[in-house]
Amino acid sequence: MLGDVADWVFDLDNTLYPARCRLFDQVDRRIGLFIQDRLGLDAVAARLLQKQYFRQHGTTLSGLMTHHAVEPEVFLEFVHDIDLAPVEPSPALDAALARLSGRKFIFTNGSNAHAARVMDRLGVARHFDGVFDIADAGYVPKPALATYERLIRRHAIEPARAVMIEDLPRNLRPAAELGMTTVLVLTGEEWAETDKAGDHIHHVTDDLVGWLGAQLPARIAVNEAS
């Protein structure tokens, strides 16, 4: 159980909702369609370029902006035009967040609009004090250290009293370097295995709601003692 936590920083996709929803598969397919249409490539070539840019730039969008002057707003609106039906409302997550003291933020390489739709679908929007999206980051995606520093400045976060929860291990390394406690949410996805081992991972779980629930006694004890 953790000690005194002032701020909780949550990734969105495959973290706030389970990866088994396969929601990001829809986004992944639409990214490929966008590349095919914009660059005039066939499906195979578009897929190769999509993953190349993801590896080299942190997000496919960043690569498309750098090499093809793609307008980020147009890209984000297209790729997030997806069916949220696979994400079920989560009363359990709602209850866990309600009992968790401290501010709560979404930190995503996606858009604010996408985050709002997902939080509404889950039924947890009321708990969050803000969303820091890719536009807030100046379109410099996680895991760029400067983006984490920008998040910290924007919301006056004290890293030593903050927890960051993510499904991609590489995105937790800068958080740990800045002094945050990190939590890796396991998804079982091959693309989430890179950089999984290391001292930048402080806690690991395959059940976000259960893990949050396990922190509640410590938080209650701190509050009662103060």
For the chain, the domains span 7-17+88-225, 23-79
The CATH code of domain 7-17+88-225 reads: 3.40.50.1000
176-198 average pLDDT score: 83
CA distance 156 to 179: 14
Class at the top of the CATH hierarchy for domain 23-79 = mainly alpha
CA distance 217 to 205: 18
Number of neighbours of residue 13 by Cβ within 10 angstroms? 19
Residue range 157-170, pLDDT digits in tens: 999 999 999 999 99
Residue range 114-150, pLDDT digits in tens: 999 999 999 999 999 999 999 999 999 999 999 999 9
183-211 average pLDDT score: 84
Which 3-state string (H, E, C) describes 2-54? CCCCCEEEECCCCCCCCHHHCHHHHHHHHHHHHHHHHHCCCHHHHHHHHHHHH
